[in-house]
Amino acid sequence: MFDYCIVGAGFAGAVLAERIAKVLNRQVLLIEKRSHIGGNCFDYRDSHGIIVHKYGPHLFHTDYKEVFDYLSNFTDWSLYQHKVLAYVDGKKVPIPFNFHSMDLLFPQEVSLNLQKQLLKYFEYGSKVPILELKKREEKELHFLADFIYKKIFLYYTMKQWGKKPEDIDPEVTARVPVLVGKDDRYFYDRYQAVPAEGYTKIFERMLDDSRIKIMLNTNFQDVMQIDISARKIYLFNQEFQGKVIFTGPIDELFNYCFGYLPYRSLRFSLRTERKEYMQEVATVNYPNDYDYTRITEFKHIHPVDSPMTTYMYEYPESYEFGKIPYYPLFTPEAKGMYDKYAEMAKGFENLLLVGRLAEYRYYDMDDVIKRALDIFEEEIR
């Protein structure tokens, strides 16, 4: 009945299902364990008409024209420039850390001197990793790098990943930038927008095809069996001759035969109150205070005429079986375990692994869409 069986209805699975059905005119079975399509990008309108991102905020931004053009087939866009504040020393300051942040946190003379030092060595508008600042001989730049590391990055990372300060590799500070300038935007990509009707509508339009059969509330193990020794896949108790595209956790696919891959998970708490807005921007991070890492207010992302506002507290937590695996924990042991699973997958001629969980790597939204489009062109079409 089916030429392709795809496990997982997030962006990786949905893009490939749409391309295979529309371009190749093939029959696709799409299996999803949750009660909805869209994966972690699933959103909905609450009783006050506010679009809520169920699994945390998702902001579309990309430099890939082909990704933006592809999604534009399924949605209109609302222009949106994401801004984030961090609660530091009792004040809310823009991040990435920039000249405005310095003006808010330091005395005027100190702030101007730091800006002068940055402009002396770096181009206006550039983003400088704090690791680069630490290499400079000027004590002012050392001070700035240490301040940002401790106040913006260190304790946020401890909460996010559940690690002690001594267990955080100093090299990861390379991805913590200082913006030499006054641009308060969080992203600088060429294309920045949000779908006018939310992400779920994109998935509904993408999968609205008679050649795509969707099974929700279905664990793939209920309909699919993996014979590791014979390197065969069975669907509905018959050997499946088509191609299987798997986007779920690779260790689950092979029944954890090499062990459980480690992840971090998240817990969310929604609040609604009668107020136009609760905070100044969509997202406020709390690096040093409270148990949550950030609060997201959705009316900033999808403006709507409502006397109410809905916002979400985000709590990182350890991953246990049954929770949602959000972020892979990249340890040497985890990499070694994943490599064993990936090598095993190569033994199946009709199996493709695509996406964050199947490939055990972190993809931004646009990256996973680009990955799916590339897989279709290079390995399927």
pLDDT band at 2, cuts 50/70/90?
very high
pLDDT band at 135, cuts 50/70/90?
confident
C-alpha dihedral, 242 to 246 to 252 to 253, nearest 10°: 20
Joined together, the tokens standing for residue 135 give 């290499």
Which of 54, 4, 310, 325 is CA-nearest to residue 203?
A: 54
Average pLDDT over residues 29-54: 98
Q: Are 226 and 255 in contact (CB under 8 A)?
A: yes
Q: Say what the pLDDT of residue 164 is.
A: 79
Which residues, in sequence order, are bridge partners of residue 5?
29, 244
Average pLDDT over residues 279-303: 97
Residue 67 has pLDDT above 80, yes or no: yes
Could you give the C-alpha distances from 353 to 8, 31, 63, 246, 359, in angstroms and in order? Answer: 11, 15, 25, 5, 6
Q: Say what the pLDDT of residue 172 is.
A: 60
150 contact partners, CB below 8 Å, separation of at least 6: none
Spacing of C-alpha 343 from chain mean position: 26
Q: Say what the pLDDT of residue 271 is.
A: 98
- E-strand ranges in 3-117 read 4-7, 28-31, 43-45, 51-53, 60-62, 77-79, 84-88, 91-95
The Cα 61–Cα 63 span in angstroms is: 7
Residue 259 has pLDDT above 70, yes or no: yes
User: Residue 375 in 3-state DSSP?
Assistant: helix
- pLDDT per position as a tens digit, 68-110: 999 999 999 999 999 999 999 999 999 999 999 999 999 999 9
- pLDDT per position as a tens digit, 292-308: 999 999 999 999 999 99
The Cα 90–Cα 104 span in angstroms is: 11
Residue 165 has pLDDT above 70, yes or no: no
Q: Are 176 and 152 in contact (CB under 8 A)?
A: yes
Average pLDDT, the chain: 95
The pTM of this model reads 0.94
Share of the chain above pLDDT 90, in %: 89
What are the structural domains, with CATH classification, of the chain? 4-37+207-258+329-380 (3.40.50.720), 95-179 (no CATH)
Phi, psi of 285 (to 5 degrees): -90, 150
Residue 169 has pLDDT above 80, yes or no: no
